[in-house]
Amino acid sequence: MPIAEIFLSAFVKLLFEKMTSFASSKLPTFEGIGAQFTNWTNMLSQIEALLIDAEEKQMTDRAVNLWLDDLQDLAYDLDDVVDEFATEALRQSLKAKPHQASSSKVWNPILNFKPGDVWFNFKMRSKIEEITTRLRTSFEQCSKLNLVKIVGTTTPTKTWQRPESTSLLKEPRVYGREKDQRKIIQLLVGGGESSRNKVDVIPIVGMGGIGKTTLAQMVYNDETVKKHFDLKAWVCVSDEFDIMKITKAIYDSVTSQTCSFNNLDQAQVQLKQALAGKKFLIVLDDVWNKKYNDWNDLSSPFNDGAQGSKVVVTTRSRDIARMMATVELHDVEILSDEDCWSLFAQHAFENRSIDANPNLVSIGKKIVEKCKGLPLAAKTLSGLLRCKERDEEWVDVLCSKIWELSHEESDILPALRLSYHHLPSHLKQCFAYCSIIPNDYEFEEEEIVLLWMAEGFILQKGEKQMEEPQFPIINLIEE
């Protein structure tokens, strides 16, 4: 799926802001254009409500895919028209300023009139008519595609959902995480009684597919950890932060019984009684919710636990980690080349001898280089190759792009796409812009931010300059 298609909704939002800003300026030369922009905005707003559903259905519906392609071209052309008007508005505002050099001359707007102004309006009238016709046609096609309006959310109707994780460690051996494991275990079992907090929250942070869940499983099943806590619970939170559902899941896990209440207050009271006076360990895997009040409500039953109780949270978001943390964040890094190869070989060569297949080993190590230390990538590709015997089959995988694998073959793109959908809309286009940068091209953060600014992707708010280090998007890319 072309990456340009998945940020179309974000691009439309930016168009809204541009047109709204321009329409509010009172420029007599462009009389009537404000009303035209309002008309365009109204049609786009109705189309936008369908985009979330359309971006999901495009993978299986060719008609929707073609409609999105046309809409994408239209959006770019519309953006060009808006930019032309903005540029002309700036030109006219500069031309309209009286000359400062001589105070003896009286500035006469008639004398400053240029035939170019008339020509610009004539030229733009045909472009406006064309955009209006194309936008109306696109809007009329919506009704034929059976798209569902989804308003007020950036989370799509899911065609893919991450399988629910469990506390059981699936890997026969985990590579490259020994140091991480020792550090987390030390936080769990060491010094809890002297902590300022009755319940410490330990965040494990990293990108999708980096191995956060695997690390949490390692410490959860460690014998020292098992002996240290009276009660343990593992809950896969994922995209939906349902306080009632999570509360009941924790209760079921720590008591090995089923919570009998469907009322949140009664369920939390029941959980509070189960945790009272006990030293517990709770793992909340894959947390996405950024609302502090939701976290505060969920964690209220934890306060009756014994001193030294712990909550381990895995998340891709540093903001979420900071919101919940009582100790320093633990960042999970990519694997070394050696560890990544060991993980790859563990799956790809499980049913064959490495020594007997030197050609496959040579090709496999080149494949591992493309994984860039990402465990999920190594595991996905090794799983594809474990049943392939011929050298050319391995070369095919080496030469193909990992992103071209179908959802049935790979969890990589869906896993990372979930991160994309949780970006604020104004950042989605910045992210997608990076797709035009050649593979392995090295660039500085300041360089890419300046390119974003030049494209108009970053909107200045207040008096803070976009070049300042404190500007939010600069902080984001540094993280």
d(CA 198, CA 217): 23
Does pLDDT of 468 surpass 50?
yes
**Would you say residue 172 lies in a domain?**
no
The reported pLDDT for the residue numbered 156 is 44
**Would you say residue 395 lies in a domain?**
yes
Residue range 386-405: mean pLDDT, rounded: 78
Nearest C-alpha neighbor of 18 from the set 43, 1, 37, 39? 37
Residue range 8-19: mean pLDDT, rounded: 69
The reported pLDDT for the residue numbered 364 is 92
Residue range 468-479: mean pLDDT, rounded: 49
Residues 194 and 303 in one domain: yes
| pLDDT band, residue 181 (cuts 50/70/90) | very high
Kindly compute the dihedral angle of the four CA atoms of residues 26, 31, 33, 35, in this order, to the nearest 10 degrees.
80
Name, in order, each residue with C-beta under 8 angstroms of 24's C-beta and a sequence gap of 6 or more.
34
Enter the DSSP assignment of 460: -
Nearest C-alpha neighbor of 66 from the set 117, 2, 20? 2
Q: What's the CATH code of the domain at 186? A: 3.40.50.300
The reported pLDDT for the residue numbered 265 is 92
The reported pLDDT for the residue numbered 155 is 45
Name, in order, each residue with C-beta under 8 angstroms of 257's C-beta and a sequence gap of 6 or more.
251
Residues 341 and 325 in one domain: no
Q: Judge whether 424 and 476 are in contact, CB under 8 Å.
A: no
Final residue of a structural domain among 86, 116, 142: 142
Query: What's the whole-number average pLDDT of the chain?
Result: 79
The reported pLDDT for the residue numbered 319 is 92
Does pLDDT of 403 surpass 60?
no
Does pLDDT of 469 surpass 70?
no
Residues 407 and 442 in one domain: no
Q: Judge whether 308 and 326 are in contact, CB under 8 Å.
A: no
Phi, psi of 166 (to 5 degrees): -130, 170
| pLDDT band, residue 262 (cuts 50/70/90) | confident
Residue range 30-52: mean pLDDT, rounded: 74
**Would you say residue 422 lies in a domain?**
no
Does pLDDT of 244 surpass 50?
yes
The reported pLDDT for the residue numbered 29 is 55
The reported pLDDT for the residue numbered 83 is 81
d(CA 323, CA 116): 56
Of 8 and 289, which is predicted with more confidence?
289
The reported pLDDT for the residue numbered 415 is 59
d(CA 402, CA 372): 12
- 3-state SS of the chain: helix, strand, coil percent to 5? 55, 5, 35
Nearest C-alpha neighbor of 452 from the set 476, 427, 469? 427
d(CA 449, CA 113): 39
The reported pLDDT for the residue numbered 110 is 44
Does pLDDT of 22 surpass 50?
yes
Residues 463 and 379 in one domain: no
Lowest mean pLDDT of 125-129, 214-218, 282-286, name the range.
125-129
- For residue 107, give its domain range: 3-142
Q: Judge whether 443 and 477 are in contact, CB under 8 Å.
A: no
| pLDDT band, residue 5 (cuts 50/70/90) | very low
Does pLDDT of 416 surpass 90?
no
The reported pLDDT for the residue numbered 47 is 80
Residues 317 and 341 in one domain: no
d(CA 207, CA 415): 9
d(CA 400, CA 367): 10
Query: Which residue is it, tokens 């799509």?
Result: 156
Residues 249 and 351 in one domain: no
Q: Judge whether 253 and 232 are in contact, CB under 8 Å.
A: yes
Does pLDDT of 210 surpass 60?
yes
Does pLDDT of 115 surpass 70?
no
Final residue of a structural domain among 331, 359, 392: 331
Lowest mean pLDDT of 17-26, 68-77, 468-477, name the range.
468-477
Residues 395 and 346 in one domain: yes
Query: Which residue is it, tokens 């949780």?
Result: 422
Query: Which residue is it, tokens 């070394």?
Result: 336
Q: Which residues pair with 261 in a beta bridge?
A: none
Kindly compute the dihedral angle of the four CA atoms of residues 452, 25, 133, 149, in this order, to the nearest 10 degrees.
70
Q: Judge whether 235 and 302 are in contact, CB under 8 Å.
A: no
Query: Which residue is it, tokens 């008639």?
Result: 110
Of 86 and 181, which is predicted with more confidence?
181
| pLDDT band, residue 383 (cuts 50/70/90) | confident
pLDDT in tens, 246-260: 999 999 999 988 888
DSSP string, 109-124: TTTT--HHHHHHHHHH
pLDDT in tens, 306-341: 999 999 999 999 999 999 999 999 999 999 999 999
Residues 217 and 317 in one domain: yes
**Would you say residue 312 lies in a domain?**
yes
| pLDDT band, residue 434 (cuts 50/70/90) | confident
**Three-state DSSP state, 281:** strand
Final residue of a structural domain among 142, 165, 197: 142
| pLDDT band, residue 144 (cuts 50/70/90) | confident
Residues 354 and 246 in one domain: no
Does pLDDT of 40 surpass 70?
yes
Does pLDDT of 380 surpass 60?
yes
| H-state helical runs in 422-465 | 425-433, 445-455
Does pLDDT of 382 surpass 60?
yes
The reported pLDDT for the residue numbered 344 is 93
Of 303 and 91, which is predicted with more confidence?
303
Residues 346 and 473 in one domain: no
**Would you say residue 158 lies in a domain?**
no
Does pLDDT of 470 surpass 60?
no
**Would you say residue 232 lies in a domain?**
yes
In what order do the strands lie in the sheet containing 309-315?
231-238, 280-287, 309-315, 199-205, 330-331
Enter the DSSP assignment of 330: E
Residues 261 and 393 in one domain: no
Does pLDDT of 390 surpass 50?
yes
The reported pLDDT for the residue numbered 10 is 64
Number of domains forming the structure of the chain: 4
Does pLDDT of 157 surpass 60?
no
Residues 221 and 247 in one domain: yes
The reported pLDDT for the residue numbered 414 is 58
DSSP string, 193-226: GG-SSSEEEEEEE--TTSSHHHHHHHHHT-HHHH
